[in-house]
Amino acid sequence: MRRVRAAVTEAPGAPFTVRDADLEDPRPYEVLVRTTAVGVCHTDLAMRDSWPRQLTPMVFGHEGAGRVEAVGAEVTGVAPGDHVCLTFASCGTCEQCAAGHPAYCHAAQVRNLSGGRADGTTPLSLEGMPLRSGFFGQSSFATYAVVHERGVVKVPSDLSAAVAAPLGCSGQTGAGTVLNRLRPGPGSSLVVLGAGAVGLSALMAAVAVGCDPVVAVDPVASRRALATELGAKAALSPGAGLVAALRDLTGGGAHHVVETTGRPEMARRAVGSLRPRGELALLGIGGEVTFDVMGLLAKGVRVHGVIEGDSDPGRFVPELIGLHRRGLFPLDRLVTTFPFEDIGSAVAAMRDGSVVKPVLTFT
């Protein structure tokens, strides 16, 4: 048992409160990681606000990075001292995992969103009572995390933890949607709706593979400016006339649109911005969206729902690190760091749009 500091959510929608807790030693297929950085994602906030009361108190956080402190007896992929990125959990044996698509693991719900391990236990406790955890297999809003070995990806020791952390979710979600699912050819047009961490990761990936033009849409002027610095040919505000402007910029309609906002009206505008046989990728967490079916049929539009960039993290995270090394995926441009204990300020900065990707760091 180890004493840790964790950002605890006491009830649905409650603020993160940093408290002392206890963490079990790793089981045979688990890894104990000392967290050195963790990204704050909109998913953490959305899930915190809608989390079932019976699964509280709860620890969120799903973009962890750190160093391996100890490994279970059956772990073979990493060793104490290794630098790692933490990512989502999967079983490794179902049809989707075997086919290289672990984001669609048949056990994804219980392994990522049940408030504990697949067997219902939690390695964390608070004042002798169970503290729910296992969010995306990690619950890394804490100084240490116990993670199944499939959720741990070894990274170079000289890679900044503040860059490694977002690779576990937002980086691979945006970039993976482009590189793994849409796979655009050089010279094809791509529009990104929403220039947050996921949208800008998609944009950087599109620029890296030669999409032209790449266009970003976001209401925040500073994010539009950053999008153009990262290679967008244009960055627009989502005001009146957006669809016409996008169709004009892309020569009659985009080949691909990546929708990250989760807003139904933006998804519908995305369809209007596509050319015949164009492709729409939906990434944002949202509710129901209604489309004019005849409009989809007439255009031959293909709609993709994408989770975690449809990536196999053990393969894809190293690919993204390679692109980063070559200057083609400058993820560090999105990051602003905050001390872990100042998690409230990080959340506020993300909410008001002044920071793209807040990353909490640990001393």
- Average of pLDDT values for 64-91? 97
Domain containing residue 253: 173-307
User: Which structure tokens are listed for 278?
Assistant: 């164009």
Pair (295, 315) in one structural domain: no
Q: What is the pLDDT of residue 286?
A: 80
Q: What is the pLDDT of residue 335?
A: 98
Q: What is the pLDDT of residues 163-184, one digit of tens each?
A: 999 999 999 999 999 999 999 9
Q: Which residues of 43-70 are buried (b: 16+ CB within 10 A; e: fewer)?
A: bbbebbeebeeeebbbbbbbbbbbbbeb
Domain end marker among 277, 292, 307: 307
Pair (150, 262) in one structural domain: no
What is the pairing mode between strands 83-86 and 64-71?
A: antiparallel
User: Which structure tokens are listed for 62?
Assistant: 């799903």
Pair (248, 288) in one structural domain: yes
Number of domains in the chain: 2
Q: What is the pLDDT of residues 303-322, one digit of tens each?
A: 999 999 999 999 999 999 99
Pair (128, 11) in one structural domain: yes
Pair (9, 70) in one structural domain: yes
Q: Could you tell me the CATH number of the domain that includes residue 146?
A: 3.90.180.10
Pair (177, 214) in one structural domain: yes
Q: What is the pLDDT of residues 313-349, one digit of tens each?
A: 999 999 999 999 999 999 999 999 999 999 999 999 9
Domain end marker among 307, 328, 343: 307
Instruction: Provide the sign of the torsion angle of the four alpha carbons 85, 87, 89, 91, taken in this order.
Output: negative
Pair (247, 185) in one structural domain: yes
Q: Could you tell me the CATH number of the domain that includes residue 190?
A: 3.40.50.720
What is the number of H-type helices and E-type strands within the chain? 12, 18
Pair (127, 263) in one structural domain: no
